[in-house]
Amino acid sequence: MKSENATTRVKYKLTGCDLVFYGISALVIGILTLTVLYIIVYILSASFSSPAALAAGKVVLWPVDFSVDGYKAVFNYSKVWIGYRNTIFYVIAGTVINVSMTLLCAYPMAQKDLYGGKVIMAYFTFTMIFSGGMIPTYILIKKLGIMNTIWSLLLPGAMTIYNMIIARTFIQTNIPGELKDAARIDGCDDFHFFFEVVLPLSKAIIAVLILWYAVGHWNSYMDAFLYLRNNNLYPLQIFLKDVLVSGEFSAEDMMDPETAIALQNMKLLLKYSLIVVSVVPLFFFYPFVQKYFVKGVTIGSVKG
Amino acid sequence: MRTYKGNKAVKKRRFGAELKRHWQMYLFLLLPVIYVFIFKYLPMAGLVIAFEDYKARTGIFGSPWVGFKWFIKFFESYQFRRVLVNTLLISFYGILAGFPFPIIFALLANCMPDGKVKKTIQGIVTLPHFISTTVMVGIILQIFNINTGLYGIIAQAITGHTPNNILGDPSAFRSLYVWSGIWQNFGWDSIIYTAALAGVDPTYHEAAQLDGANRFQRVIHVDFPTILPTVVIMLILRMGQVMSIGFEKIYLMQNPLNLEASQIISTYVYEVGLSGNGVSNFSLATAIGMFNSIINLLLIVTVNKIANKVGETSLW
């Protein structure tokens, strides 16, 4: 017994081969990480430089002629405020709908003995592998009369089947069937069991769902692009698309006339500042919630 | 015969009893079932317009039936070959170039000692995943601007003159699309392999060390075989998606100059049906979309069968 312990505890010595391997692997990881980091730092630096330095191509790593003019312009741009306001609304309202629907659906689907459960599950999963596509959905939105309303962004994606399956897997693995049997004997019905036992025990998966759906709403532009025609309803991503991709933006939307004149020279700077302003909320929260995202992926991989 | 009848009666009674006992469960399901019916199944029924000469005025029920006219029209048009080839080329390029990155990163990061450095690196590389498509394309357009972008600055510093417009170059489109995608997602995609690597039995490493294996040999002979099932499943699933490249990023990266390489099936559906360039033809666009959906369906079913055989893991 003693000798066995001794052999497994033998101190492992690094060989030359190991050192070469660690060297190369540090290099590869270093290059990959730096490529990601460099682009992020570059965008940040560009956004804090002066319009002239940026247009002359002087910014390579750190800000040149530090200025916050870009941010002044961004916050002066009325569409950004409208977009932010609308996006925050869509994120909150959409996520509330998404998470409620997903849990409502996942709980019954997690019951292995539910009569007809398999058929209903097939009814849901089939929509993951086949869809009517862009045009029929467009016609449907039109026929339902929700075109150009907030509902065209909230309802079509009210639940993601993939997320429902993840929630279902979580409930199946974390809430033992014996618990339900015991509750049933005590006279607890499905309704009470869901609200008093399942929900409190599902905090981790609820966090995952909230984050995934919220990020999805924050970043989505497709539905708004197809179904909305009203400036006052546009989420931030539509304005970002107009400014960053189509290169459109009008001086009339600046709330302060002085900035409107200066704007002509700042188009470029404004783009970088806008990128930062739109991404910062996500990047800021990410470190705090990283573990939930990772958890979601690992739950998903169990039955992905 | 009698038992059959008996079974049916029992079944019927059983359903009634189940419904009574678990009515709350079915009540929970009511809203999701209605939602899926309206927003997923009704559009499928709407596919019928692919076989009609659909006009908004006459509607789905009043438009004349034309059979496979639109499918034939699509197959015979010069666009068919182009969008199909573009879709497949972008897909396979993406898989060939992009698939190994997350695996290599996960394997190498796994060799790092646990601690703050490793955590920070893993945090940094997952960040770009959360950048929206619009902003990502915005970043690509800024960075690769030939006058003011990093690409332009560096090329001018090296060669002394302004480089070719890479953003309008059809031959560069695929590379821009694929490599920006790798930049954005390799870190996020590595999470699943990192999770699989956590399951490596440390005694295997100890045994390999005793046998004189160096770290590289242990990566190849201990770590990699452990995550191989995950790798195979991910690859198979990825193959199931070769015909379903997302519309969003491609559409935003398109410009008249690179259209030759950047027009794919989903963007062509939009072009024909909704863009308002020329006459919108809902029926033709729906037929093209339906062609794509059916191929996707076949691919996913096939791929899932293979995945079932290989790894006893399946999509559903």
The H-assigned helical ranges of chain A are: 2-8, 16-47, 51-55, 69-76, 78-109, 117-129, 134-144, 151-154, 161-174, 177-185, 190-193, 199-201, 203-219, 222-227, 236-240, 257-302
Q: What is the pLDDT of residue A69?
A: 77
Q: What is the pLDDT of residue B126?
A: 87
Residue of A nearest to B180 (CA): A36
Asked if B248 lies within 8 A of A222 by C-beta distance, the reply is yes
Beta bridge partners of A77: A254
Q: Which of A79, A52, A85 is nearest to A251 (CA)?
A: A79
Q: What is the pLDDT of residue A304?
A: 40
Mean pLDDT across chain A: 82
Beta bridge partners of A254: A77
For B215, the closest of A22, A33, A40 (CB atoms) is A22
Lowest-confidence segment of A125-134, A295-304, B33-42 by average pLDDT: A295-304
Angle at A14 between CA A11 and CA A18, to 5 degrees: 140
> In the 8-state DSSP scheme, what is residue A77?
B
- Domains detected in chain A: 2-68 (no CATH), 78-248 (1.10.3720.10)
Radius of gyration of chain B (CA): 26
Most B CBs within 10 Å: which of A33, A45, A135, A272, as the mutation test of the B interface? A135
Q: Which residues of B touch A47 (CB under 8 A)?
A: none
Contact status, residue A29 vs residue B108, Cβ threshold 8 Å: yes
Lowest-confidence segment of A105-119, A244-258, B77-91, B289-303 by average pLDDT: A244-258
Tokens of A83: 């977009």
**Per-residue pLDDT at A3 exceeds 70:** no
Asked if A159 lies within 8 A of B36 by C-beta distance, the reply is yes
Instruction: Compute CA distances A248 → A54, A68, A78, A270, whole Å.
Output: 19, 22, 14, 12
For B153, the closest of A12, A57, A282 (CB atoms) is A57
Asked if B32 lies within 8 A of A164 by C-beta distance, the reply is yes
For A55, the closest of B44, B148, B296 (CB atoms) is B148
Q: For residue B248, with 0-12 CB atoms within 10 Å meaning exposed, 13-18 middle and 19 or more buried, which class applies?
A: buried
Q: What is the pLDDT of residue A90?
A: 94
pTM reported for the whole predicted model: 0.83
Q: What is the pLDDT of residue B2?
A: 46
**pLDDT > 70: what percent of chain A?**
88
Q: What is the mean pLDDT of residues A256-264?
A: 58
Cβ contacts below 8 Å, chain A against chain B, sum to 275
Q: For residue A49, with 0-12 CB atoms within 10 Å meaning exposed, 13-18 middle and 19 or more buried, which class applies?
A: buried
Q: What is the pLDDT of residue B180?
A: 92
- Domains detected in chain B: 2-51 (no CATH), 69-311 (1.10.3720.10)
Q: What is the pLDDT of residue A137?
A: 93
Tokens of B44: 């499928």
Q: Which residues of B touch A8 (CB under 8 A)?
A: 206
Q: Which amino acid is at A218?
A: W
Q: Which of A237, A246, A70, A78 is nearest to B135 (CA)?
A: A237
Residue of A nearest to B136 (CA): A275
The C-alpha atoms of residue B106 and residue A80 are separated, in whole angstroms, by: 38
Q: Which residues of B touch A155 (CB under 8 A)?
A: 35, 39
Residue B290's contacts (CB-CB under 8 Å, 6 or more residues apart) are A133, B47, B50
Residue of A nearest to B300 (CA): A129
Residue of B nearest to A35 (CA): B183
How sure is the predictor about A261, in pLDDT bands with cuts at 50, 70 and 90?
low
Contact status, residue B111 vs residue B219, Cβ threshold 8 Å: yes
For A190, the closest of B24, B35, B135 (CB atoms) is B24
For B43, the closest of A109, A136, A221 (CB atoms) is A136
Q: What is the pLDDT of residue B12?
A: 67
Tokens of B305: 């069968």
The C-alpha atoms of residue B261 and residue B167 are separated, in whole angstroms, by: 12
Q: Which residues of A touch B186 (CB under 8 A)?
A: 32
Instruction: Look at residue B52 and give its three-state secondary structure.
Output: strand
The tens place of each residue's pLDDT in chain B, 316 residues long, gives 444 555 666 666 677 777 777 788 888 999 999 999 999 999 999 898 888 888 878 888 888 888 888 889 889 988 898 888 989 899 899 999 989 999 999 988 888 888 888 888 888 888 898 888 998 998 898 888 887 788 888 888 888 887 888 888 888 889 999 999 999 999 888 988 888 888 788 888 888 888 878 888 888 888 888 888 888 878 877 887 888 787 889 998 888 888 888 888 888 888 888 887 767 888 889 999 999 989 888 888 888 888 777 765 544 4
Q: What is the pLDDT of residues A21-38, one digit of tens each?
A: 888 888 888 999 999 999
Q: Which amino acid is at A128?
A: M
Most A CBs within 10 Å: which of B10, B25, B183, B209, as the mutation test of the A interface? B25
